[in-house]
Structure 1
Amino acid sequence: MAMSYIWSGLVILSFLWGFFHGNLSAVAAAALDGAQSALELSLSMAGILCLWSGVMEILNVCGLSRRIAALFRPLLRRLLPNASRDEETLAAVSANVSANLLGLGNAATPLGIQAARRMARNCGGTASDELCLLVVLNTASIQLLPTTVASVRAAFGSAAPFDILPAVWISSLASVTVGLLTARLLSRRKGGPA
């Protein structure tokens, strides 16, 4: 709700600034150009999203997503021991991590929400350390194929939208490492399990 007030305030301030400085036509033109660019980007992103959602569905149908998720279960059992006790929660977390690994952030979101809801059942209104760790893993996910970023690059005319792979691998690995270490440090400071 607060963001809608902030964005509305920014739009009103922009038009007022343009009006009082005699640039109202430039502000209006920029607003229309921005709206057109946003629409073009949204349509190109929708196509890419449909493509990769279809790929994810094919992976689900042929069972490959379950196999990928099974690879992560030993690691997730160590990171999230309480959540691992419930097989459905572990399956949702594993599928979420797998989808993020494939760069399917939009497909991973419902799985992450499902896992978070299941993990929050016994939290009593306060997020547990494991639930916070899930948010860290979901936010700073390691991506082998950054499909969303590549699709944005392709929409803006990049000849090689996937040439960013080494930088994405290094930065996502670093962000997950820092996130996990920070979560562990804060858990210890709070007196949680080591």
Structure 2
Amino acid sequence: MARPKSEDKRNAILAAAIQAIAEQGASAPTSKIAQRAGVAEGTLFTYFSTKDELFNQLYLEIKTELHGIMLATYPREAALKERMRHAFCNYVGWGVRHPAKRKAIAQLGASERVTEQTRAEAAQLFAQLGALLQESTAEGTLRGLPQPFVSAIMAALADTTMEFAAREPEHAQRYIDSGFEAFWNATSH
């Protein structure tokens, strides 16, 4: 009879994968991930049948966490600018608090190991935020441009904001406010 899987071991594998991917990208070997997690490599494959399954599950888990953070206490009835500020600032705050997850999701996002199905599942999570971006750009400079382009601009500004906020925590709020204003001015005017 097979032993029941441990949620602690699964979480340890995922946490180890985050660190390994952040450092080595999608080429991070499963042996290093298992070693970091404190499990045998065979145990890793008890929880995830392949490296690709591990990476796809990790991608979805990080995206799900990020979605929850960005929409936590989302002010649905607030003005558009305040809703955008909420999403942007929560995204930046998450990235500053979790630099390894931010690096890992960027590496996984660029990897062919993450399937189109997984990407579609993750994109579905962010449909509400996509609608918010469309609303924001409806009258602005970026109107009519594809949503992935607008999302990439937001991500680039957010990444820059995260880098500076993490590097100079004493000025973090100034960078976050300025980063948001740059995004808002680019998208809504």
User: What TM-score do the two structures reach when normalised by structure 1?
Assistant: 0.31
User: What TM-score do the two structures reach when normalised by structure 2?
Assistant: 0.31
* Rg larger for: 1
